[in-house]
Chains A and B, each alone.
Chain A
Amino acid sequence: MSDSLPFHSFTAARAAEWRPGLTDSATPHGEIFASGREAVGAGLALALALDRARVAAPDPLADAYDGRSWLWVQDSTALRLTGRPYLPGLPQSLRHRLIHVAAQTPEDTLFALEEGLRCRELAFVIGEIAGNPKALDFTASRRLSLAAERHGVPLWLVHIDARRDLGSARMRWDARSTPSPPPRWNPEAPGAPSWRAELFRARNHPPGEWILRDDGDALVAAKIAAAQHPGPSHLGDLAATAGD
């Protein structure tokens, strides 16, 4: 019996569906695959980071304001394709705490990400890397995961215009824009940013697809029926075959 207990708990955990506000005990290392023609990757990464921060501090009266800085690392291609962070457009609570790193090469980007993860005074780290550079192989990805878990600093790495290569992230998303809900006062105007996000690989959750939206107080998720959008087959998933 004692042998089967970890197996049972594992399947039970795996069966738990992902939902906003659900934080694993482990520090997340998430990957988001997005197109370089839109700012979805960074937007979703920020929304997930904010979601995690809200869950971490449930008591609004607690006098524990999290004023730590956060790091945003971009490589030069990602910076050229999707632009630089714009202060007035950032979420209000994160605006003044941003430290931006414009790295030239993917190697420098990975160095900056790892340095950020090793720093105890950072709230979280967001990275943007364009394409599939040779430096970002499975070993590099594993290094980032281990650093994030050891030092407790969450990392969301946005892959721009990239193939789904091997990666050791605990959650791997694929995101794109979706038409936003019409605003109340001007239905002709674009509304709050919405994303169609597909969780195609997660360690503790079954895959699924949601329409996500940050309404200012919380991350709102609407599940898309699996029948309409069948999840991807895991036959071709190299990470699953590798046993991770």
Chain B
Amino acid sequence: MAIWLPRLAIDRWRLTEGLNKGEAADAAPLVLINETAHGPRITAANDAGLDAGARPGMMLADARTLCPSLAVAQADLGGDSAFLDRVALSAQRWGPWSAVDPPDGVIVDITGTAHLFGGEHGLLADARGSFTHRGLAARFAIAPTAGAAWALAHCGPEDAILQPDQDAIECLAGLPVAALRLDADTVLILRRLGLKRIGELKEIARDALVRRFRNRSVPETNPLIRMDQLLGRVPEPLLPVLAIDVPVVQRRLLEPILHRDLLDRVVADLADDMARLLEGRKLGVRRLELGMWKVDGDMVLRTLELTGPNRDAAHIAGLFGNKLDGIDAGFGIELFRLRAAWTEPLLMTQSDIEAAAETHGTSLSACLDRLTVRLGANAVRRPVPHASHIPERAQRWQEPSTPGTAAQGELAFHARPLKLLDRPEPIAVVYATPDGPPKLFRWRGEPHEVVRSEGPERIAPEWWRERSTTRLRDYYRIEDGAGRRYWIYRAGIAGDGRGGVPEWFLQGLFA
């Protein structure tokens, strides 16, 4: 079922003013305007205004020349769209899900629900009664597809019903092409081609239309796609509106807070309220937003992300405690609001975590939460393998709660060091051998005599992502006289044409 609210903006204006249709201010010509770059433009007009000649889309100055007594009110586009969302939600009384059809329509899926209202006619009567009662002008249509219902609601007869066994093309042939939900440019093109009604589109060979609109893939600009959607030949996904109830708790204070210990107490109270709320809904929180409104009109926002769903008040309050350092209270904070922006189901009830921690320890996610909040998210990480031959690229770091990706195992005959320096350190070769590792080198100011070595293990640069001047590396596993084991490499070989004499680096330390 498609519902079209042709007078949505003006009806809403009248409802907010508390007027009945055609009385008081509504009896005089009135338009709703929107500021544009070229001056105020009319977005909607009431009945008297329409009679006086004002049209939506007209400049206000032009309308004023037609009707000097035109009254003006500011349009509220954001409010209209929010209102439409609520209308879409309330329209779910006629079907399991509904979608907003901006700017002024609603689509409801009434498959299998019409009999609850005594058939489709009964359903339409019920819907009409509901909208009339709310003082909203509306047009309705029922059709097997959203496109057909839209076309009938906008351009068809009142309360049109298209049965699935009827031929859609035949019934809709008389409707103008604008009923195909096309944009203004495409409608203009079709008009210039002499195609004004849906039925005329059908008379033209499809190949010709395909060729004419071949590089238009957006449905609004291609009448063929719209036609297929109308007939149900291609699927048309709609985004249903879902009522999401975000858990919010709030504390408004008589006396604005200036001091930190009171702040901590309020946050602890909020966390308690939130925990109670979440427990009732069997949810655990992943992301929290704490908004603090100051007396001077300023607002401070602190967000907190948790590793796993949690609803432990003491834990949450403790984590926020670290985040509240350095807040400038100004003249005081008077309103606190805690919002659980991201929640996940959490069935298990967890009793007091601090008491539990004393006896049998905290959980891993609580431990990680505390570490990340104090040390920062980049400090607590887990290494995961990465497909690369370059040693420092062969591992990556990611946050610990996400599971690692599957990777090809490292070949067992490659001995790799236990630790890798963040940046390979250059070593000064004192006594070199022509082909092979140095006999004596100096690293961090101390000499190391190479007693045993294995190598080279040649690792070529990744030519598909590095510059052509990157040199290859010859890795050696060495052990010095004191038994210290290192992983050193020579960048490049002599005469490879990519720089001067090859340099030596120490990259890893074996256990």
- List residues of chain A with CB under 8 Å of any chain B CB: 37-40, 42-44, 46-47, 69, 79-80, 82-90, 96, 98-104, 108, 111-112, 115-116, 118-122, 151, 153, 176-180, 182, 186, 188-190, 193-196
Contacts and interface: CB of A to CB of B under 8 A. Distances in A.
B420 A86 contact: yes
Given A102-B379, A103-B379, A121-B364, 5 more contacts: A38-B485, A82-B419, A103-B375, A108-B374, A196-B483
Interface in B452-471: 452-454
A193 B415 CA distance: 12
Interface string B355-378: 001001111101110110011001
A46 B417 CA distance: 14
Contacts of A196: 483
A177 B482 contact: yes
A42 B511 CA distance: 7
A44 B385 CA distance: 24
What's the dominant secondary structure at chain A's contact region?
mixed
Contacts of A84: 419-422
Given A86-B419, A190-B477, A119 B483 contact: no
B367 A118 contact: yes
15 contacts: A69-B364, A83-B419, A85-B419, A87-B384, A88-B416, A89-B418, A99-B380, A101-B375, A102-B381, A111-B374, A115-B367, A116-B367, A179-B451, A180-B485, A195-B511
Interface of B: 357, 360-364, 366-368, 370-371, 374-375, 378-385, 391, 394-395, 397, 400, 404, 410, 414, 416-422, 443-444, 446, 451-454, 477-479, 481-485, 508-511
What's the dominant secondary structure at chain B's contact region?
mixed
B364 A88 contact: no
Contacts of A180: 479, 483, 485
A176 B481 CA distance: 12
A103 B397 CA distance: 15
B360 A178 contact: no
B483 A194 contact: yes
A42 B414 contact: no
Contacts of B420: 83-86, 89
B451 A39 contact: no
B371 A120 contact: no
Contacts of B478: 190
Contacts of A100: 380-383, 397
Contacts of A188: 452-454
Contacts of A80: 422
Given A39-B510, A119-B363, A180-B485, A87 B375 contact: no
Nearest to B421: A83
B479 A179 contact: yes
Contacts of B367: 115-116, 118-119, 121-122
B212 to A, nearest CB: 59
A112 B375 CA distance: 9
Contacts of A69: 364, 400
Nearest to A69: B364
B379 A85 contact: no
A203 B454 CA distance: 42
A69 B380 CA distance: 13
A190 B381 contact: no
